[in-house]
Amino acid sequence: MSRWRRRYASVEAAALAGIVCAIGWSVSLRGLTAGPSITANAREIARYYAARDVGFEALILLQIATLATIGFMWFIGVLRSRLGNDAPALTSTVFIGAGMLSAALIVCGMAALAAPAVLLEAGGKPPDPAAVSITRAIAIPLLAIFAPRTATLVMLSTATLGRVTGALPRWLVILTYLVAAVEFLNVTINEPTIYVFPAWIALVSLLLLVRTRTGELNASPPM
């Protein structure tokens, strides 16, 4: 049992969970944002939700998002336990708190995007076009304003933890600081903004996985 516990708490496990999270969030976000834009008229909205299986597809995407979010919580939990021992308590606290808040904002944003399709699937009636526009308007600040800026705290604290412990190479620490600064100062609400955080999670996860495979980073937790 202790061997399995060590394996689940290893950096390798965190890297795999991070990859699952990055792929799952990206797929879910791409699928849910593919619906009518906020500028769509009532006829376009009605035509979209009249299509077959729209509600079922939304439920599947939400299931994928749920699994991805669990992977993210595993990712930050293992990293905090493995990389936070030598870091200031404030940095570790911000890392966990910002991670949980970012996940909550992303989940809420995706729920808002999926709400009209869920109504169609669960209630058997098409959503009101005005309500669809409102739910997408709610999703925009959640996914393109609040979540990205909260995610920068995760990125900055991870870069700090990686710098202090030496778990992350210098180039990735510097790149993370730069990307986080640009993301935080970004005032646009363009869709590509929401994919920056999943892409960064994938990059960090892949690098951690490579470093554990090559022996540059101990994959097993301390006894």
Q: How many domains does the chain have?
A: 1
Domain that holds residue 46: 2-213
- Give the pLDDT confidence score for residue 87 in this predicted structure: 63
pLDDT tens series, the chain, 223 aa: 444 445 445 777 888 899 999 999 999 999 999 888 888 888 888 888 887 788 899 999 999 999 999 999 988 887 777 665 666 777 878 888 999 999 999 999 999 999 999 988 887 788 888 888 899 999 999 999 999 999 999 999 989 888 887 778 899 999 999 999 999 888 777 778 889 999 999 999 998 888 776 655 554 444 4
Task: Please give the single-letter amino acid code of residue 47.
Answer: R
- Please tell me the pTM assigned to this model: 0.86
- Contacts of residue 32, defined as CB under 8 A and 6 or more positions apart, other chains included, come to 58, 61, 110, 113, 114
Q: Tell me, yes or no, whether 115 lies in a domain.
A: yes
Q: Tell me, yes or no, whether 94 lies in a domain.
A: yes
Three-state secondary structure call for residue 145? helix
**By the 8 A CB rule, do 71 and 27 touch?**
no
- Give the pLDDT confidence score for residue 5 in this predicted structure: 46
Handedness of CA 85, 87, 90, 93 (dihedral sign): negative
Q: Tell me, yes or no, whether 220 lies in a domain.
A: no
For tokens 């619906």, the residue is 35
Q: Tell me, yes or no, whether 63 lies in a domain.
A: yes
Q: Tell me, yes or no, whether 182 lies in a domain.
A: yes
DSSP character at residue 53: T
Q: Tell me, yes or no, whether 193 lies in a domain.
A: yes
Q: Tell me, yes or no, whether 125 lies in a domain.
A: yes
Say how far apart CA 3 and CA 11 lie, in whole Å. 14
For tokens 């399709």, the residue is 117
Q: Tell me, yes or no, whether 223 lies in a domain.
A: no
